[in-house]
Amino acid sequence: MSILTDTARERMVRAKDASRQVGLLTDAAKAALLDAIAARIEADTADIVAANAEDLARGRADGLSAGLLDRLALDEARVHALAVAVRDVARLPDPVGRVLDERTLLNGIRLQKVSVPFGVVGSIYEARPNVTVDIAALALRAGNAVVLRGGSAASGTNAALVRAMRGALAGAGVDPEAIQTVDDFGRDGARELMQARGLVDVLVPRGSAQLIETVVTESQVPVIETGAGVVHVVLDSSAPLEWARDIVVNGKVQRPSVCNAVETVLVLRDAADRLIPPVAAALQEAGVTIHGDAAVQALVAGVVPATDADWATEHMSLDLSMRVVDDLDEALDHIRTYSTHHTESIVTADEARAERFLAEVDSAVVMANASTRFTDGGQFGFGAEVGISTQKLHARGPMGLPELTSTKWLARGTGQIRP
């Protein structure tokens, strides 16, 4: 069937059919398949870079920002890096077939709970062609088919990458329909993907807070919500200055545009005089603009007055909100009001307060005396990261390959019936 005459739904039906074959592949077969994909991406480098050049030219004509154009751009080195990442995923342990629970009932029935592929994983994301390869490789490694909907700005690049990956599947004797794109249907493709209950088993949006919000509210397919991080660091009364300064500066400056970067620092009043001047000086030296409340403004020159909106803002830039709170209760109240439940950290020498913070803060990752930048699948030792879940269902925090699997119960009996 020509790619030009079918519908988005037909493609998803074919992905579902292909998922049966992919779901039964052995560990070795899946690893070999990913190696074949990596090789084919490298072999197709010229095609991919040429398609990308057209996307870039269109993006420049459409006035895309320099940041977006940089995310969109693929040169030979970046294509090579994509292939290397696929080979890394190939080397990860198979998440399918793990026995998660096992019990023999009194009547002799042997029960096993085993990990199985979801079936079909969908992803809606923005103009980053690396996500196309990344999600497809992770989904396949976990035995799933995948349906992709990338941003229109990268549609030519994505098509070239999907062509390469499908070619590798066909070459390995695997149904190429296991990788689908619905990019060419524009917004309708995204809409059909969100309505594909029964064909698509889980949808992972990746991109802006706006995109994720749209998918979470509109999708009838179960969603794993990733993303937005209004991340807090609390500097407790007893916080050692060096830890406080290092953790705040590292959390804000090391990579300001990512979701685990610090957005708001809350300082306990009885430590404000001791901690705020040196921490603020280190931040300002690193080029950070501090948005502070009146107490912070009184201690530091060059502070922008914080507005209510600042507390709810994920700056994604060298801007940081800072507030003095009366005590740990007020800090916890502030976090409850403004946190996106991604990551929060307390800096303290008081173990009881650290444990209270760890117990009471309702976020995917809660830290004591560590940089929030550690909330990351790679840092956690997962080898790869599907995203960082900020929801409570199924997966929470950094997601590795096991989070791309479901489970089923197997029951082996010898004719048992229920009395």
Distance CA 390, CA 228 (A): 8
Choice between 46 and 410, CB closer to a copy of itself = 410
Distance CA 16, CA 120 (A): 6
Choice between 155 and 226, CB closer to a copy of itself = 226
Single out the residue of 179, 365, 386, 399 in contact with a copy of itself (rule: CB under 8 A).
Answer: 365
Stretch that binds a copy of itself, among 159-167, 295-303, 306-314, 368-376 (CB under 8 A): 368-376
Interface with a copy of itself includes 312 (CB under 8 A)? no
Interface with a copy of itself includes 202 (CB under 8 A)? yes
Interface with a copy of itself includes 284 (CB under 8 A)? no
Single out the residue of 154, 164, 224, 280 in contact with a copy of itself (rule: CB under 8 A).
Answer: 224
Distance CA 234, CA 311 (A): 14
Provide the mask over 238-277, with x wherever binding to a copy of itself is found by CB under 8 A and - wherever it is not.
--x-xx--xx--xx--x-----------------------
Distance CA 260, CA 371 (A): 9
> At closest approach, how far in Å is the CB of 345 from a copy of itself?
8
Distance CA 310, CA 304 (A): 11
Interface with a copy of itself includes 105 (CB under 8 A)? yes
Distance CA 400, CA 378 (A): 9
Neighbours of 345 (CB within 10 A): 28
Q: Where are the beta strands (DSSP E) in 241-334?
A: 262-268, 289-292, 304-305, 319-325
The answer to whether 391 touches 225, Cβ cutoff 8 Å, is yes
Interface with a copy of itself includes 122 (CB under 8 A)? no
Structure tokens given for 333: 């109240």
Distance CA 36, CA 173 (A): 11
> At closest approach, how far in Å is the CB of 68 from a copy of itself?
26
Contacts with a copy of itself, residue ranges (CB under 8 A): 20, 24, 103, 105, 109, 111, 113, 116, 118-119, 197, 201-202, 216-217, 220, 222-224, 240, 242-243, 246-247, 250-251, 254, 345, 347, 354, 358-360, 362-371, 373-375, 379-381, 391-394, 396-398, 406-418
